[in-house]
Structure 1
C-alpha cells in the first residue's frame, strides 16, 4: 500500500479535500481487471474467428477491428482507473474516491455503518487482493474499496467495524 499526500497547496475542488493523505489500492487490481477483460475479449475473438471461417463476407472483420479497439482502450484506461482509486480514514468518516472522467467522492460516516463485508472471488484470491463493501443505512451508498491487500482489508474491516460500533453506541 503506497500513499501520497494530496496537494495541500492546490486542492482539486470537492474531490481532493486539503490535508488528506490518500491510501492507494494494490496495482494487482489492474492486472485482475485486465485478465477479466482479456477473457471476455478472447471469447469474442473465437466467435469472430469461427465467423471468418464459416461466412465468406467482410463484416466479421468489423468485429475483429472492434475487439482490437476495445483491447487497446481497456489496456490504456484500466491502469489509470486503478490509480485513481483512493481512500482516507478521518476521525468521523471514511472517504472513498474513484474515477478519471466521471469522478466520485463518497463520504461514509462511521456512525451510519451497519456492517462491513470483505469479499474475494477466485481471481482476486489468486491475485492476492480483496474488496471491502460498507453497508450503511442508505441502500444507494456505493461504498466499496476494491483491490486491497488481504492484510489491509482485514485491518480496515476490523477498524471500520469498531469505529462504527463506537459511533453507534454514542447515539
Structure 2
C-alpha cells in the first residue's frame, strides 16, 4: 500500500548530512546559555537553579537526537510537471509545486551555511502560504536546481 507521502513512481533526492551540523550548532549555543547560567546561579545563589541547567541540558540532548532524523526525512523529487518536497517525521508534509505556478526561485546561504558548504533553494509561487524550500543542498546542486526549475517554470508558463 502506498502512502500519500511516498508516491510509488518517485525517486527522492536527499539533502546533505551537513545540514545536521548547521542546525545543531545554533541549538547548542542557545542551550549552552541557560546551562551555564543555571550552573553559575546554582553554585552562587541556590540549588533550585540546577533545575534550569538540567532542563536546558535535557532539551539539548533531545534536539541532538531529533535533528539528524529530521534531516534524513527531508527529500525532493523533480517530476515531469511538478516538484515534490517531503519533510517531517511525526508531522509529515508533502508539498507539490507545479512548475507553471512558480514565479521565481531564490538560492540563499547564511554565514554558517556558507562555511559548511550549504545553500537553500526557496521557491516562490502565487500562493503566499506555500512553504516550498529545500535546505541543506550543496551550492552546485542548488545552482543546478535553481536553473532547472526556472527554465521549467518559464516553459510551463509560456505554454499557458
Which TM-score applies when normalising by structure 1? 0.90
Q: What is aligned with 2:83?
A: 94
CA distance in 2, matches of 1:154, 1:138: 24
Residues 1:78 and 2:67 aligned together: yes
SS at match of 1:144: strand
Residues 1:46 and 2:36 aligned together: yes
Counterpart of 1:29 (choices 19, 44, 47) is 19
Q: Deviations over 1:38-74 (max 9, x none)?
A: 1111122232133223312x32111111112111111
CA distance in 1, matches of 2:58, 2:28: 13
CA distance in 2, matches of 1:21, 1:103: 17
SS at match of 2:156: helix
CA distance in 1, matches of 2:108, 2:44: 43
- Unpaired runs of 5+ in structure 2? none
Q: What is aligned with 2:4?
A: 14
The Cα of 1:130 is off from its aligned counterpart by 0.5
CA distance in 1, matches of 2:51, 2:36: 14
Runs of 4+ in 1 over 2 A off after TM superposition: none
- Unpaired runs of 5+ in structure 1? 1-9
Matches within 5 A, 1:48-63: 48-56=38-46, 58-63=47-52
CA distance in 2, matches of 1:170, 1:50: 65
SS at match of 2:86: strand
Matches within 5 A, 1:106-117: 106-117=95-106
Q: What is aligned with 2:107?
A: 118
Counterpart of 2:132 (choices 143, 150, 159) is 143
Quote the RMSD (CA, aligned, Å).
Answer: 1.0
Which TM-score applies when normalising by structure 2? 0.96
